[in-house]
Amino acid sequence: MYICLMGTSERLIEATRELLWDRGYVGTSPKAIQRRAGAGQGSMYHHFSGKPALALAAIRRSAGELRVAAGATLDGDGSAYDRISAYLLRERDVLRGCPVGRLTMDPDIIADETLRAPLDETVEWLRGRLADVVEEGRRRGEFAAGVVPEEIASTVIATVQGGHVLARATGSPAAFDAGVRGLLTLLAPGASRP
């Protein structure tokens, strides 16, 4: 259960965020949200007009947390390679999957333009931020002059999201770790370039 000092609306958002991550939109019922949040039906509908509004708040929360965590790493100190490496190697619950990436595979969320919007915005933000870091590295000579920053950014995102899928499929983080190591080897300064 959630800390008693947390307000009801916060408990509802956090409960919904966790349930969406674990069960998806269809599997996240209002009763399950209320039970996990320790809130009654009246409290839920006092704070939110219904499940879609609560899901939107939870999706925004997950997207915001991803941006904060990724931004802290990508905006940190060090070379472009070091910052991308730190992003790829940062602590994650690999077997649980990415809370944003998992939602992009939920057909009910993707079919709803309003619920999908924070996911689209976050993926585009991440791709742009990664591309900026790669461009910095390209300008400083860390990466080959012919590197296309947007393509490398997409590769980094694909490695993380695909690594989550492989790890979940095998029940082991080894596939995620192997993908990250492989990409870092390819990106390493001085790695042979085509």
Q: Is residue 191 classed as helix, strand or coil in its secondary structure?
A: coil
Which structural domain range is residue 182 located in? 59-187
The CATH code of the domain that includes 124 is: 1.10.357.10
Residue 39 lies in a domain: no
Q: Is residue 5 included in any domain, yes or no?
A: no
The answer on pLDDT for 139 being more than 50 is yes
Q: Which residue, chain included where needed, has tokens 């008693």?
A: 4
Determine the pLDDT at residue 31.
94
Residue pair 58/36 in contact by the 8 Å Cβ criterion: no
Given a contact cutoff of 8 angstroms between Cβ atoms, the answer to whether 79 and 146 are in contact is: no
Dihedral sign of CA atoms 181, 91, 156, 108 in order: positive
**DSSP code of residue 117:** H
The per-residue b/e assignment along 99-108, b for 16 or more CB within 10 angstroms, e otherwise, is bbbbbeebee
The predicted structure's pLDDT at residue 155: 97
- Structure confidence by residue, pLDDT tens digits, 7-66: 889 999 999 999 999 999 999 999 999 999 998 888 888 889 889 999 999 999 999 999
Domain for residue 192, yes or no? no
In a domain, 18, yes or no: no
Measure CA 166 to chain center: 16
| Res. 78: pLDDT tops 70 | yes
pLDDT classification of 2: cutoffs 50, 70, 90:
very low
Considering the domain boundaries, does residue 42 fall inside one? no
In a domain, 179, yes or no: yes
Alpha-carbon dihedral angle through residues 176, 101, 70, 7, given to the nearest 10 degrees: -120
User: Is pLDDT of 191 > 70?
Assistant: no
Domain annotation covers residue 32: no
Task: Say how many domains are in the chain.
Answer: 1
Measure the CA–CA gap between 138 and 136, rounded to whole angstroms.
Answer: 5
Q: Where are the alpha helices (DSSP H) in the chain?
A: 8-23, 30-37, 41-47, 51-74, 80-89, 99-104, 107-110, 113-139, 149-170, 174-187
